[in-house]
Structure 1
Amino acid sequence: MKILPAALAIGMLGLAACSTQTNDTSSSASGDPVKSEKPATTAPDGLKAVVINGALPYSTKNGDAWSGLAVDVLKAIQKEQSSDSASTELSFQEVSSVSEAQEALASGTANIVCGIGFSWERSKKINYTLPFAVGGMRLLTTADVDGTPESMKGKEIGVITGTIPAKLVASQLPEAVVQDFASPDEALAALKDGQIDTIAGGALWSKANMATIPGSRMVPDRPYGRSGIGCAVTHDNDGLLASGNLAIGQLLQGYVDGDEESTRIINASIGPDSPVGLEAETIATYYNSVLGTVTGVGKDE
């Protein structure tokens, strides 16, 4: 399925418009409402991205350099922003937990986060872009369990505080014993050291880290609570939301069309040769479904 660039752009901009939940208005002298002006692009200080170290396959730090799928998406958004102005700077603010990431967005010290799962509760405070991956909660375990509620009764599960998997454990595995960790690195260290034998995480995160835990496996076969993984901005940043949607849409379309750079970026993090190991056809099928829902453009033979 091929989608014309113009149609893609229209679809992305339409999505951005629909995502905005509030509009500021004031009254003119005649009493008619006058819509306040909002900036079309990000602030002059550019993209201030909040990132969590060890959040494979989305973001990880090697020395002073960041890498991962979320980082590559941020660079694509930076490129899209720079096409509208002389240059857009991309800076990273490292945090240790999801709750700290949310606080950074709320306070304005950061204006975007990528690699975050969609939730209806979070959508009250932030706007989500198009997803570039799909997640869900699976258990990374060295124990003889199958991940069902019955098998997890009375069993200890490590969770990362404030994450969607942590909430899913509470709702789907209510009889498990929960042990909280502040960051992905802390949870993995506890699993490696044998302090716990099961941790709950995003499906792709669990798969990306499975090779580092000898004798581990992922359960259950189907993840709990599947959700889209994308970027998020605050409700008052429509310009950045539009740029994010367009950049992600172009990246997804490039992968579907076999573009060399798009294919390299995606496959390096979640493709056949990555620790996640998804088949290219599986990725392309998902991206086609995402693009089809926002553009409404049929097949171009």
Structure 2
Amino acid sequence: MGASGAQAARAETVIERAARTGAITVGARADLSPYSFRNDRGELVGYGVDVAQLVAAEVSRYLGRPVRAEFEPVGDPDALFRQVSNGEIALSCGAQFTWEREMFVDFSIPFSLSGIRILTRAQGLSGTAESLAGKRIAVVPGSLGERAMRDLRPQAIRVAVPGLKDGLAALGSARVDGVAGDSILLAGAARSAGSQGLTLVPEDPLVRYAVGCMMPENNSTFRNLVNLAIAQMIQGYVIDDPASTATVNRWLGPGGVLELPPELIKAYFQTVLLNHEQINVPTTR
């Protein structure tokens, strides 16, 4: 979309555009397991993809007409951020919250919690400053992982790689001792690659942050609907609603990409809901 298209996108709210076109444009990376990635059949799937579909359903109910999530693959995370910021893309789910980004886009309530850790197979590399002294750690330039290593673990030697997959390849060939990045994305990338014998350190992440959806600023009705869709899903998980439980567990819970204990997921979801009104979700939906 050119400059004139971006200006038109900003002049029209997301809800107005959805009412006119019957679609919400969703920007998605195709290599960020478990949030958005291509499966063996080439289909775009993931936790963020499922959340975007729930948002589209909520907007459909609000407008009283069908609205579909129209996915647009975007490979460059910086380009994705710019397109959301200028209104070319209405939604991106699986985004890491930072206060810097909040200056230019709006964020939903979170549907996941993550942090910066190091994926390694090295014995004795625990993630402490002492264990990382002189170790070669792969980082993606400009990422939160690079920032955390630079600011919190300067004893390590940072090795720039284009992406997490490249970092995993470097780890597999022993060119680096570890890969620093988002712990959920690292776990998803390792599982997708079939890597064995890897562990995430330290036990407590170097940095923690919420993960949710980002959208253009000044779209309060749309932001409310996005929050409602997420709140219904996480409240449903807390009360053991089958549909919500299946959605979350497919990616985070037992049998999913991360296989986190349901009690841990529920505890986090409850902390999110404490700051908002409880959503009554029928268990039969």
Question: After the TM superposition, which of the residue ranges 227-236 and 196-205 deviates more from structure 2?
Answer: 196-205
Q: 2:37 aligns with which of 48, 53, 60?
A: 60
Structure 1 residue 295 and structure 2 residue 274: aligned?
no
Give the one of 117, 129, 142 matched to 2:108.
129
Which residue of the other structure, out of 53, 56, 73, is the alignment partner of 2:51? 73
Aligned with residue 170 of structure 2, among 148, 171, 190: 190
Q: Tell me, yes or no, if the aligned pair for 1:57 and 1:208 is still in contact at 8 Å.
A: yes
SS in structure 1 of the partner of residue 209 of structure 2: strand
In structure 2, relative to structure 1, the CA distance for the partners of 1:274 and 1:180 (3 Å cut) is same
Opposite residue 182 of structure 2, the aligned amino acid is G
Q: Give % identity.
A: 28
Greater mean alpha carbon deviation, residues 238-247 or residues 43-52: 43-52
Correspondence for 1:168 = 148
Q: CA deviation at 1:53?
A: 2.1
The aligned counterpart of 2:7 is none
Partner of residue 17 from structure 2, selected from 39, 43, 49 = 43
Q: How many pairs are equivalent?
A: 261
Equivalence for 2:93:
114
Matched, 1:206 2:206: no
Residues 159/147 of structure 1: CA separation in 2 closer, same or farther (3 Å cut): same
Cα drift, residue 208 of structure 1: 3.1
Residue among 44, 61, 82 paired with 1:103: 82
CA distance in 2, matches of 1:283, 1:137: 18
Unaligned runs of 5+ in 1: 1-36
| Equivalent pair of 1:272/1:280 in contact (CA under 8 Å) | yes
Q: Is the partner of 1:295 in helix, strand or coil?
A: coil
Q: How far apart, in 2, do the equivalents of 1:155 and 1:220 lie?
A: 15
Q: Which residue of 1 aligns with 2:222?
A: 240
Matched AA of 2:141: T
Distance 1:275 1:158, change over 3 A: same
Aligned position for 2:5: none
The residue aligned with 1:221 is 203
CA displacement 1:114-161 (0-9 Å, x = unmatched) = 111111111111111010110111100122311112221222211223
Distance in 2 (CA, whole Å) between partners of 1:40 and 1:107 is 12
Q: Which amino acid aligns with 2:161?
A: F
Letter in 1 for 2:157: V
Normalised to the residue count of structure 1, the TM-score between the two structures is: 0.80
- Between 1:255-264 and 1:156-165, the stretch displaced more is 156-165
CA RMSD of superposed structures (Å): 2.1
In structure 2, C-alpha distance between the alignment counterparts of 1:113 and 1:196, rounded to whole Å: 32
* Kept in 2: contact 1:40–1:238 (CA 8 A): no
CA-CA distance at 1:64 after TM superposition: 4.0
Instruction: Give the letter aligned to residue 236 of structure 1.
Output: N
> Which residue does the alignment assign to 2:283?
none
In structure 2, give the amino acid aligned to 1:294. H
For structure 2, the 5+ residue unaligned runs are 1-10, 280-285
* One-letter amino acid of the structure 1 residue matched with residue 17 of structure 2: A
- Give the aligned residue type for 1:272: P
Deviations 1:147-183 (A, max 9, x none): 1122212222112233322221221112322222333
Q: Provide the C-alpha distance between the structure 2 equivalents of 1:166 and 1:96, rounded to a whole number of angstroms.
A: 19
- Please tell me the residue identity of whatever aligns with 1:68: G
Aligned to 2:180, the other structure's residue is in SS state strand
Query: Is the partner of 2:229 in helix, strand or coil?
Result: helix
Partner of residue 29, structure 1: none
SS of the aligned residue for 1:140 comes to: strand
Partner of 2:60: 82
Higher RCO, 1 vs 2 (CA within 8 Å, ≥6 residues apart):
1
Alpha carbons 2:110, 2:210 under 8 Å: kept: yes
- Corresponding residue number in structure 2 for 1:151: 131
Q: Distance in 1 between matches of 2:224 and 2:140?
A: 31
TM-score, normalised via structure 2 length: 0.84
Once the two structures are TM-superposed, the CA of residue 197 in structure 1 deviates from its matched residue by 3.0
**Offset, 1:210:** 4.1
Instruction: Report how far residue 105 of structure 1 moved.
Output: 1.6
**Which stretch of the first structure deviates more once superposed, 100-109 or 133-142?**
100-109
